[in-house]
Structure 1
Amino acid sequence: MTAILDIVVPVFTVIVAGYVAVRLGVMERAATAVLGRFVLHVAMPALIVVTLAGTDLRQAIEPGFLLAYGTGTLFTYGLMLTWFRGARGDRFDRAAVKALGSAFSNSAFIGYALLLQAFDEPPVAGFAMALMFENLVLMPLVLSVLELGAGQGQALGARATARLIVARLVTNPLILAIALGLSLALFEVTLPRGLSGALGLLGQAAAGVALFFVGATLVGSRLHASLGEIGQVALAKLVLHPLLVTAMVLLLPAFDPDLQHAAILIAACPMFAIFPVLGARYGHAELASEALLGATVLSFLSLSVVLALLL
């Protein structure tokens, strides 16, 4: 139990520190957006490039990981969309937002930090592959569904909606960093020591600042909506998603055990930090914000259980 707490406590201590800093006025809440941009546009891309550039391409891409994590994630999204729309009778746009929160992990802000804490040699390739799947497959899918659910898909037209999705992909700094890192690995380009060192220093800041940002964004969130509704989203994200990814890991041909554990651990993370931003765009800001708060708080317990089972 002590070993599990040694992994989980540092992660959530930094999250709490971010919350307290904003709550007490040490930092203005508006300033936290700068931290998020720093992680997404500077620190995390630097980390991805320097890591992938120095990796054997055969180790950087593991089809088994992509298939297990991707299939489990898509099953979670499809099941929860069907559940919220069919069984609960939600409007399509609300069901689509809740399904998104049920299946889209916080890989960049929490997943990477957990891998650092849980492994002596973190399987960073698993983190990069999770980002690839989420941004190249899951995000275009859920944006298409959300646009359709909000009635915007018909208003914009299929081509305009497709252009919107493509624009999000080609301007995503994480996707650009993955493409650059894989290209460097493919052509066996060695980065100059000075550049590699600079990228490494920036990458080291990614985990701590990301967790601090997560805590800061929770300030102001309250549980005003139905606890049952929020609880279903949180339960799907923290329990159903990792269970389905685990099932895929067990059913599919075996691959690197560390990557198997990484896939399950990333799936067990709460939903991604910008979930309330997307929720707000489709008229469900309060639901998304409260679901993020509930899932993040509960994940201290659920992640501890997952780690106890894995390690």
Structure 2
Amino acid sequence: MLDILAITTPIFAIIGLGYLARAGRLIGHEAIQGIGTFVMYFALPALVIRALTQNPLKEVFDPRYLLAYGAGSLAVFALGLALTLGLERKSLATAAIQTLGMSASNSGFIGYPVTAMVLGPPAAMFLALNMLIENLLIIPLALILAELGQQAGNGLRETLRQTGLRLARNPVLIGLVIGILLAATGGPLPAPLAKVIDMLAGAAGPAALFVIGGSLYGLKPRGMVRDMGQIAVGKLILHPLAVLGVFLLLPDVDPLLITAALLFACAPMISVYPLFGQRFGLGDVSAAALMVSTLASFLTISLTLWLIRHGGLFVTP
């Protein structure tokens, strides 16, 4: 168990440092937002570009991983919609946002640092694949349903157009496009540019974890135990189980893929989840769910690492 804690403790120690920095007023909310902007607009895109350009393109885009992880995420999304719409009789907008919290991992800020500690450099390749699934499938699907549920009068066509425009400005997706284009040309990057990308990519993990900790400061559950608990259980338990289930249905799957998929799926929901929730009147619930899921993920990620290792799926490159 000590070897598991050796992986998870540094990750959550940096999250704790971010929280303490805010609690001790060493750094303000605006500064945390600034670091988050740096991670989102510079470090994570550089990380994706480095992953795509350091390996042959055919080795990065594994269709089995995309299929299994995407199908598992969609299964949880469908289950969440059925639960909130059918059993709890909530609105489509509420159901879509709550389901988003269950099925979209914080791959960049928590999933990648944890997986990198376990698997090393291959974690960046899986980050690129997860970013495709989350930014082109799960998040757009949730936002389209939420917009339609609010009946803003825009209609499906306008909703799709606005969602597409937002995605086109997503810095991680821009990094994916740049990385794919560079990898497709096959030529090496100029040494100074490669060094800049490498330095930015190296800052992604610790800076992202620090931002998560600083962002958790001040969040309060405020008595929303049922909805908050439902989202957290869906994200930390159902999502990993669904992803694992799909992978086990596929023949001859590389254990490396299973290990990476499980670690990414065990991460709590995306860090901007409260912003999406606030837009649709669920700011408090989504913020509370993010706080609880992030704290609880220390236990679930540690348990998952223990089960993977003793289940014979653990892979060290």
- With the shorter chain as reference, the TM-score category is over 0.9
Displacement, 1:159?
2.5
Q: Could you state the TM-score of these two structures normalised by the residue count of structure 2?
A: 0.95
**1:297 counterpart SS class:** helix
Q: Which whole-Å deviations, capped at 9, do the CAs of 1:50-69 have from their partners, x for residues lacking one?
A: 22112111111000000010
Whole-Å separation in 1 of the counterparts to 2:12 and 2:122: 19
Q: Which whole-Å deviations, capped at 9, do the CAs of 1:230-272 have from their partners, x for residues lacking one?
A: 1111011000000000000100233332122111110111001
Displacement, 1:183?
1.5
Unaligned runs of 5+ residues in structure 1 are none
Q: Structure 1 residue 146 and structure 2 residue 136: aligned?
A: no
> After the TM superposition, which residues 28-39 of structure 1 pair with which residues of structure 2 at under 5 Å, given as runs?
28-39=28-39
Displacement, 1:229?
2.1
Could you tell me whether the CA contact under 8 Å between 2:112 and 2:123 is conserved in 1? no
Displacement, 1:112?
0.7
Q: Structure 1 residue 301 and structure 2 residue 304: aligned?
A: no
Among candidates 208, 211, 223, match of residue 209 of structure 2: 211
Could you tell me whether the CA contact under 8 Å between 1:104 and 1:271 is conserved in 2? yes
Could you tell me whether the CA contact under 8 Å between 2:135 and 2:167 is conserved in 1? yes
Which residue of structure 1 aligns with residue 73 of structure 2? Answer: 73
Which residue of structure 2 aligns with residue 124 of structure 1? Answer: 124
Call closer, same or farther: CA 1:108–1:22 in 2, change over 3 Å. Answer: same
Whole-Å separation in 1 of the counterparts to 2:31 and 2:120: 34
> After the TM superposition, which residues 152-231 of structure 1 pair with which residues of structure 2 at under 5 Å, given as runs?
152=152, 155-231=153-229
Call closer, same or farther: CA 1:257–1:16 in 2, change over 3 Å. Answer: same
Could you tell me whether the CA contact under 8 Å between 1:146 and 1:282 is conserved in 2? yes
Whole-Å separation in 2 of the counterparts to 1:53 and 1:291: 36
Displacement, 1:136?
1.1
Could you tell me whether the CA contact under 8 Å between 1:238 and 1:302 is conserved in 2? yes
The worse-fitting range, judged by mean Cα deviation, of 280-289 and 248-257 is 248-257
Could you tell me whether the CA contact under 8 Å between 1:105 and 1:271 is conserved in 2? yes
Displacement, 1:121?
4.1
Which residue of structure 2 aligns with residue 241 of structure 1? Answer: 239
Whole-Å separation in 2 of the counterparts to 1:272 and 1:306: 19
Q: Which stretches of structure 1, 4 residues or more, deviate above 6 A after TM superposition?
A: none
Displacement, 1:282?
0.4
Which residue of structure 2 aligns with residue 61 of structure 1? Answer: 61
Which residue of structure 1 aligns with residue 313 of structure 2? Answer: none
Whole-Å separation in 1 of the counterparts to 2:40 and 2:120: 25
Could you tell me whether the CA contact under 8 Å between 1:53 and 1:189 is conserved in 2? no
**2:122 counterpart SS class:** coil
Whole-Å separation in 2 of the counterparts to 1:43 and 1:121: 16
Which residue of structure 2 aligns with residue 98 of structure 1? Answer: 98
Q: Could you state the TM-score of these two structures normalised by the residue count of structure 1?
A: 0.96
Which residue of structure 2 aligns with residue 260 of structure 1? Answer: 258
Q: Which whole-Å deviations, capped at 9, do the CAs of 1:285-304 have from their partners, x for residues lacking one?
A: 00000000111111110111
Percent identity between the two aligned chains: 36
Could you tell me whether the CA contact under 8 Å between 1:225 and 1:287 is conserved in 2? no
Whole-Å separation in 2 of the counterparts to 1:141 and 1:189: 36
Could you tell me whether the CA contact under 8 Å between 2:243 and 2:261 is conserved in 1? yes
Whole-Å separation in 2 of the counterparts to 1:157 and 1:263: 36
Could you tell me whether the CA contact under 8 Å between 1:225 and 1:290 is conserved in 2? no
**2:223 counterpart SS class:** coil
Tell me the C-alpha RMSD between the 2 structures: 1.2
Whole-Å separation in 2 of the counterparts to 1:17 and 1:29: 14
**1:222 counterpart SS class:** coil
Could you tell me whether the CA contact under 8 Å between 2:76 and 2:102 is conserved in 1? yes
The worse-fitting range, judged by mean Cα deviation, of 198-207 and 247-256 is 247-256
Whole-Å separation in 1 of the counterparts to 2:233 and 2:136: 25
Unaligned runs of 5+ residues in structure 2 are 310-317
The worse-fitting range, judged by mean Cα deviation, of 280-289 and 49-58 is 49-58
Aligned residue-pair number: 309
